[in-house]
């Protein structure tokens, strides 16, 4: 087409509109990209918050339990995004593992499970469970509390604590079942064997060997409460695998008061 001025004009068709279906696809793609960026930001932000929270818990436990500098303290925070939990003012659950923890005459692993941990350090936690794990080598340091005679072996296996001693030139083995009584871990004889021949505690105590074997079957146990925070109540003692596991629990426990130890009642005269 030529105008009066001699300029050549060419007509161009107007662009066609984008079909509605393609507009929806573009919207969904954009939404997915934005959602991915938000998720990435939340995950990365949660990693930062977890690192800070772990350091705070580790420092608080080290101070409360008066642990020596350099003591290993492993902290594991519960599942779920910690950022969202922090908005509520508390963390759902925290697990703390302290290997090589002094436990009176022995050394064991202390496991703390804490539920409802407030962000305010001065606020109490909802539930605190402490578990102490002792292997046979460390339990043997309490040999004098397991029997009234000198022992030549202490083992943990088959769901029981085993002790051995030589009585009247015979190797005697006794199986002990752990339990709790007040703040004390008690040990009750449940099986006896002499020279490899199994018998019962009742049969031994009714035999002429009662005066010799009796002291081996007498156990004073040991006070675990004085080795654990006073805010916790001794609740269980059991053999788990090859370890003696002592459990204590408490509610509305202040972490800052964990350094105060409990006591046991004096035995009746």
Span of 49-53, 249-253, 265-269 with lowest mean pLDDT: 265-269
36-65 mean pLDDT: 65
Across the chain, what does the average pLDDT equal? 79
pLDDT of residue 99: 94
Read off the pLDDT band of 81 (50, 70, 90).
Answer: low
pLDDT in tens, 6-30: 555 555 555 555 555 544 454 444 4
**Position 137 pLDDT exceeds 60:** yes
57-83 mean pLDDT: 78
Query: What predicted TM-score, i.e. pTM, was given to this entire model?
Result: 0.77
CA-wise closest residue to 164 among 222, 106, 241, 216: 216
pLDDT of residue 107: 92
Burial class (CB in 10 A: 0-12, 13-18, 19+), 130: buried
78-91 mean pLDDT: 65
202-219 mean pLDDT: 82
Find the angle CA(18)-CA(23)-CA(27) to the nearest 5 degrees.
155
**Position 34 pLDDT exceeds 80:** no
pLDDT of residue 69: 81
Find the angle CA(181)-CA(187)-CA(192) to the nearest 5 degrees.
150
**Position 193 pLDDT exceeds 90:** no
Q: Which residue has the higher pLDDT, 250 or 209?
A: 250
pLDDT of residue 147: 92
pLDDT of residue 212: 78
pLDDT of residue 71: 86
pLDDT in tens, 139-180: 999 999 999 999 999 999 999 999 999 988 888 899 999 999
């Amino acid at each position: 087409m030529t105008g009066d001025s001699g300029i050549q004009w060419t007509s161009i068709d107007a662009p066609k509109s984008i079909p509605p279906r393609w507009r929806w696809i573009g919207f969904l793609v954009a939404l997915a990209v934005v959602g991915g960026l938000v998720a990435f930001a939340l995950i990365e932000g949660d990693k930062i918050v977890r690192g800070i929270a772990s350091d705070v818990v580790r420092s608080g436990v080290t101070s409360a339990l008066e642990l020596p500098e350099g003591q290993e303290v492993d902290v594991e925070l519960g599942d779920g995004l910690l950022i969202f939990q922090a908005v509520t003012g508390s963390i759902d659950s925290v697990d703390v593992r302290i290997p090589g923890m002094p436990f009176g005459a022995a050394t064991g692993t202390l496991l703390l499970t804490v539920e409802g941990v407030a962000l305010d350090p001065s606020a109490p936690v909802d539930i605190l469970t402490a578990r102490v794990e002792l292997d046979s080598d460390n339990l043997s340091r309490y040999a004098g509390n397991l029997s009234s005679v000198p022992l030549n072996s202490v083992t943990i296996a088959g769901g029981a604590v085993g002790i051995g001693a030589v009585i009247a030139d015979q190797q005697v083995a006794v199986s002990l079942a752990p339990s709790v009584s007040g703040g004390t871990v008690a040990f009750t004889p449940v099986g006896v064997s002499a020279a490899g021949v199994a018998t019962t505690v009742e049969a031994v105590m009714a035999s002429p060997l009662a005066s010799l074997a009796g002291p081996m079957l007498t156990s004073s146990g040991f006070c675990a409460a004085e080795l654990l925070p006073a805010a916790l109540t001794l609740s269980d003692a059991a053999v788990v695998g090859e370890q003696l596991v002592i459990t204590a629990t408490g509610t509305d426990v202040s972490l800052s008061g964990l350094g105060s130890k409990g006591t046991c009642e004096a035995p009746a005269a």
